[in-house]
Structure 1
Amino acid sequence: MSVDTPEAAPVRPAVTKGRLLVFALILVLLAGVAIVYTLHAVRREDDRLHGGSGTAPGGPPLDLAVGGPRLLFRSTESGPGYGHLATVAAADPGGPRTVDVHSCDRVYAAGGTAVCLAVEGGLTKTNVALVLDANLRRLRRVELAGTPNRARVSASGRMASWTVFVYGDSYASTTFSTRTSILDTRTGELVADLEDFTTTRDGKELRSPDRNFWGVTFTADDDTFYATLSTNSSGRTYLVRGELRARTMTVLRENVECPSLSPDGTRLVFKKKVSQSTRNPWRLHVLDLATMRETPLAESRSVDDQAVWLDEHTVGYGLPTGSGAAGDVWSVPADGSGAPTRLVVGAFSPVPLR
């Protein structure tokens, strides 16, 4: 009698630790190749966009306190210095520039302190505010919740402020949201968001949950400041005067954006909305704080910038050249006379170093 025996199961090779290690090493190698290729592609695209024969970083490092009157700015000149901080002599703004190793998307400096809003990292980007001393050495680094947009420092260098977009990318949109912070560089106290301040209009507190603030400018006492307030529900903008120690703000008037206080503290240059068009919505004006009289400036093009005072009689600002990535710095008299003048080609975020 025959007896059927079950067929033997196939023998599978055992997975050894050595094979697992080889497999893991292959995965790591492939990931490394992918990263190197991606970085090479990013660098090649950056070279394609910004390549050129512009001034390269190098030479003596920039110093905010050494040298004659100069104009500090973010260089948008094609070439290796694109995006880096640079200076030119105030008496010869079209002359040769000195380009530093620091890169910033937005910059402002006063009183031996600079604020540099930058994007750090390679594949993973981090938006940061860097507080720098007169030698551009880092004093503090603050990670930001959005895209860098506006920066200011008080005349003494003590107070620093910055604004970021949390979502959206244009003040012309009705859906943007901002966060504006103020840092006391002496004490280290950081006001993370001006929305935490009490804001009043005509004696009544504004409690709208969609309030946005941006464009801070400081007075000489390092406590009082001016800024812009808006609410998405109303679509309107307002000039507010704030008090840091009291943590309060008061609405002064409507239709004022990105104010900048004159060196003598008597006037504000700002952008005023003069059209509902998203292509040409603003015009620069100067507001006399004693009389509240507005003067339109001779620059008729729409300026989406927080202008600066180059001196008591002249304001400066950036205008794109058309590509969006590059731009030039212009100036115009602050009394409404004259005509716009191009100061620096391939520059953005101007700051006078007096």
Structure 2
Amino acid sequence: MNTRNRLIILLAAVVLLGTVAFASVMHAANRAGEHDQAQPGGPSVTSGSVSLQDQGRIIFRNMAWGPYRDDLVSVPVNDPGGPRIASPVRCLRFYSAAGIGVCLRKEVGALQETYFASVLDSRLHTLRDFPVAGIPTRARVAPSGHLAAWTVFVGGDSYAGTNFSTRTSIVDTRTWALTPSLETYKIIKDGKPYHSADANFWGVTFADDGHFYATLATKGQTYLVHGDIAAQTMTTMRTNVECPSLSPDGTRLVFKKRVPGTDPDVPWRLYALDLATMKETPLAETRGVDDQVVWSDDHTVLYGLAGDYGEDLWAVPADGTGSPTRVAVAALNPAFLR
């Protein structure tokens, strides 16, 4: 390489770094100077103090375009569509329980994006960062706060596709012992040990500190599995179950079920499963839902659907009655601070 080419490459690098630095400074200045959400007609957002110990509130990812896009915001439980208080923490996926949060986030470098799972304390300070190998998609925390789980797309593909790869991890927030991939667990399918190179797992929902439910995909079929952390096993329970979410009383799961004749891009409807009787009940939401629902109480679940200002939060009864209700615009991944 001659001197002229070296100078051209050096000049291009200087320009690139200068552009990145200028954009960062302008972003910080805009963020400091803005007091309300810039998007006309969007929800009102102001910066302030957000804590995972503020009982009677909901924390979720703000989806409205503007200076607070992707920030964790807090609203009262009795006014989820009201003014939002924004934290400086920015997440692509989020969940919280018992004063512990898990935030799946990205860092943008000069040449590439990198992703991390950050375990947060009640003041949203990072306790531990874990690099993740792909695009964040699901996050959960055990009711005790002692365990956190997350799922990423290793190849960046969609659940709606037929060929994709996920990686699901679980960490003990007391000891920081990490299970990097649930693929190390033994699978028990139809009462027998099962091995397949194409096994994928996602959508963990914790029952307690020793047990969870999740989705297993293999050979073109999905299964609800019950996980035993001490035994390091996952046992299949039934087919066509994705992204289960356990009710607070531990008696029911709401999940995504593929239904023939639906939109091929969003081919799921929400169903409830009674764990005592194993009876399925379709919920009143007839649109396709690609989300892991969150229970607001023992009777209602929340989930995201596309809206005018980004994803909106909707609610529907978990027993198949009633009708869907939009509870907040431009909001995703709620966590109820009980």
Same fold per superposition (TM over 0.5): yes
Tell me how far apart the structure 1 counterparts of residues 120 and 204 of structure 2 sit (CA, whole Å).
19
CA contact (8 A) 2:71 2:91 kept: yes
Question: CA offsets, 1:9-41, max 9 Å, x none?
Answer: xxxxxxxxxxx8x99788645422233336667
- For the residue of structure 1 that corresponds to 2:47, the secondary structure is coil
| 1:121 CA drift (Å) | 2.7
CA distance in 2, matches of 1:132, 1:290: 35
Deviation string for 1:237-278 (max 9, x for gaps)?
000001001101100000110001100000001011112641
Alignment partner, residue 259 of structure 1: 244
CA RMSD of aligned residues (A): 2.4
Q: Which residue of 1 aligns with 2:337?
A: 353
Aligned residue type for 1:58 = S
Asked if 1:99 is matched to 2:100, the reply is no
Contact 2:170 2:179 in 1 (8 A): yes
- Percent of pairs with identical residues: 52
Aligned to 1:12: none
1:217 maps to which of 177, 193, 205: 205
**Count of matched residue pairs:** 324
Q: CA deviation at 1:199?
A: 0.5
Of 210, 221, 245, which aligns to 2:230?
245
Give 1:34's aligned residue.
Answer: 16
* 1:303 equivalenced with 2:289 (yes/no): yes
Q: Deviations over 1:275-321 (max 9, x none)?
A: 26413411101100000001110000111000010001000011112
Distance 2:45 2:56 in 1: 22
1:78 partner SS: coil
Q: How does 1:101-250 map to 2 (within 5 A)?
A: 101-123=88-110, 124-220=112-208, 222-231=209-218, 234-250=219-235
* Structure 1 residue 168: Cα displacement: 3.9
Aligned match of 2:34: none
Does the CA-based 8 Å contact 1:307-1:317 persist in structure 2? yes
For residues 22 and 260 of structure 2, the distance between their equivalents in structure 1, rounded to whole angstroms, comes to 44
CA distance in 2, matches of 1:205, 1:262: 29
1:322 shift after superposition? 6.8
The alignment's TM-score, normalised by the length of structure 2, stands at 0.90
Q: Partners of 2:5 and 2:163 in 1: how far apart?
A: 49
Q: Residues of 2 paired with 1:182 and 1:298: CA distance?
A: 33
Among 273, 281, 302, the residue aligned to 2:258: 273
Distance 1:217 1:65 in 2: 21
Q: Secondary structure at the match of 1:167?
A: coil
Contact 1:55 1:99 in 2 (8 A): no
Runs of 4+ in 1 over 6 A off after TM superposition: 22-26, 41-45
Corresponding residue number in structure 2 for 1:287: 273
1-structure distance, mates of 2:279, 2:329: 33
Secondary structure of 1:195's counterpart equals helix
DSSP 3-state at the match of 2:296 = strand
SS of 1:264's equivalent in the other structure is coil
Give the counterpart letter for 1:294 in structure 2. E
Unpaired runs of 5+ residues, structure 1, are 1-19
Residue aligning to 1:16: none
Change (3 A) 1:33 1:94: same
User: 314, 317, 342: which is aligned to 2:326?
Assistant: 342
Q: Distance in 1 between matches of 2:207 and 2:249?
A: 9
Q: Is the 8 A contact 2:307 2:329 kept in 1?
A: no
Q: Which runs of 5+ in 2 are unaligned?
A: 31-36
Distance in 2 separating the partners of 1:351 and 1:93:
12
